[in-house]
Amino acid sequence: MLDQIKTVEEGVNKLLTIREVPIPSYTFFRKTKNDLTDLLSLDGETEKIPLPYWHYDVRIRSIWRFCRNKIDTVCCLNAYSFFGKDMTFEQALYRELDIAEFVLCAKIKKVTAFKNGDACNLIAVTDRGTLANLDFGATMANGAVNQCQHRVILQNSMVNDRVVDNQVVSHGTYVFNDSSVKPEVFDDLEVYLYGLNAEDCKMALYINALIKKSEKISEIRANHAHLLKVMDAVFRSDKTGETVEVEA
């Protein structure tokens, strides 16, 4: 019988133990309303590391791999993402901008944004000349399942993190029984992380990659600093009604 993992830290430690990697000193911090992401302190360092753990969402990572191998044919990203009100607008904006740059393998250099409360439409142009059209909002009920779709258009193909005719996000497993008219749904598909929900599974995988140095901390910090400048450009564009260049 599999042991049930109860915390992100337990999941990280199990992954490292299985792969025979020494477990370092680290502390995992859940984001507060004042943070843009969850954070990690590694080896006693005072400067915390931002954790864009959605890079380890299997669907988003599949899009990234596909686009990376066809980078010269990528045209644009269309994204439609909606979150519960327990996520702040700034956290949703940070996440969607980061995903756009990640899957397009490019950096945003200018934006045109229109904000209405906690919902926003923005068009971003990258340094590769590709576009990202992002519609998103933190407007659903607290605790609602994220309803996100990211679709990349290429010159001769298209890749999507959702089945085209899905109206809402699908789940990994549906269990039907003889006592309910609706199935139970499960998303804990990582066998070594049994017990964690889908978001915490991605978090454990991302921290594991950081500790194993599959993800480079210096690049994460640099990208975080860049995204702060992109976010500033978004707010300035909404305020002025004009396209705004991202500061170098």
- For 172-223, what is each residue's pLDDT tens digit? 677 777 677 677 766 666 778 888 888 999 999 999 999 999 999 999 999 9
pLDDT tens for 92-142 read: 999 999 999 999 999 999 999 999 999 999 999 999 999 999 999 999 898
CA distance 209 to 164: 31
Nearest partner of 207 among 3, 17, 13, judged by Cα: 13
Instruction: Report pTM.
Output: 0.90
Average pLDDT over residues 16-40: 95
Task: Give the count of beta carbons closer than 10 Å to the beta carbon of residue 153.
Answer: 16
CA distance 28 to 47: 13
Place of tokens 């911090």: 29
Contact criterion met (CB below 8 Å) for 54 and 224:
no
Region of poorest pLDDT, from 39-48, 117-126, 159-168, 188-197: 159-168
Q: Which domains does the chain have, with CATH numbers?
A: 8-186+200-242 (3.30.360.10)
Q: How confident is the model at residue 44 (pLDDT cuts 50, 70, 90)?
A: confident
pLDDT at 222: 96
Region of poorest pLDDT, from 6-10, 38-42, 169-173, 201-205: 169-173
CA distance 78 to 152: 6
Count the alpha carbons within 13 Å of 147 in the hemisphere toward its beta carbon.
15
Question: Which strands make up the sheet holding 38-42, listed edge to edge?
Answer: 26-29, 38-42, 49-51
DSSP 8-class letter at 37: S
Please give the distance of CA 92 from its chain centroid, rounded to a whole number: 9
At residue 231, φ and ψ (nearest 5 deg) are -60, -40
CA distance 107 to 40: 24
Place of tokens 């598909």: 189
CA distance 117 to 137: 9
CA distance 109 to 92: 19
49, amino acid identity: I
Contact criterion met (CB below 8 Å) for 211 and 12:
yes
Parallel, antiparallel, or unpaired for β 49-51 and 74-84? unpaired
Q: How confident is the model at residue 230 (pLDDT cuts 50, 70, 90)?
A: very high
